[in-house]
Amino acid sequence: MYKIEKKNYGVKLTFDGFIKRDEMEAWVQEAKNIVPQLSGKFGVLVDMRTLKPLPRDSQVAMEEGQKLFKFNGMERSVVILNSATVTMQFKKIAKDTGIDQWERYIDASKHADWETKSLDWLQHGKDPE
- Domain coverage including residue 6: 2-124
Query: Do the domain assignments include residue 43?
Result: yes
Q: What is the pLDDT of residues 72-121, one digit of tens each?
A: 999 999 999 998 899 999 899 888 888 888 899 999 999 999 999 999 99
Output the DSSP codes for the chain. Answer: -EEEEEETTEEEEEEEE---HHHHHHHHHHHHHHGGGS-SSEEEEEEEEEEPPPPHHHHHHHHHHHHHHHTTTEEEEEEEES-HHHHHHHHHHHHHHT-TTTEEEEETTT-TTHHHHHHHHHHH-----
Q: What is the pLDDT of residues 31-82, one digit of tens each?
A: 999 999 998 899 999 999 999 999 999 999 999 999 999 999 999 999 999 9
Query: Do the domain assignments include residue 41?
Result: yes
Query: Do the domain assignments include residue 111?
Result: yes
* Domains in the chain, number: 1
More confident residue, 98 or 2: 2
Query: Do the domain assignments include residue 83?
Result: yes
Query: Do the domain assignments include residue 81?
Result: yes
pTM: 0.92
Task: Specify the pLDDT at position 124.
Answer: 95
Task: Specify the pLDDT at position 4.
Answer: 97
Task: Specify the pLDDT at position 18.
Answer: 95
Query: Do the domain assignments include residue 129?
Result: no
Q: What is the mean pLDDT of residues 6-12?
A: 96
* Beta-strand relationship, 42-51 and 10-17: parallel
CATH number of the domain within which 14 lies = 3.30.750.24
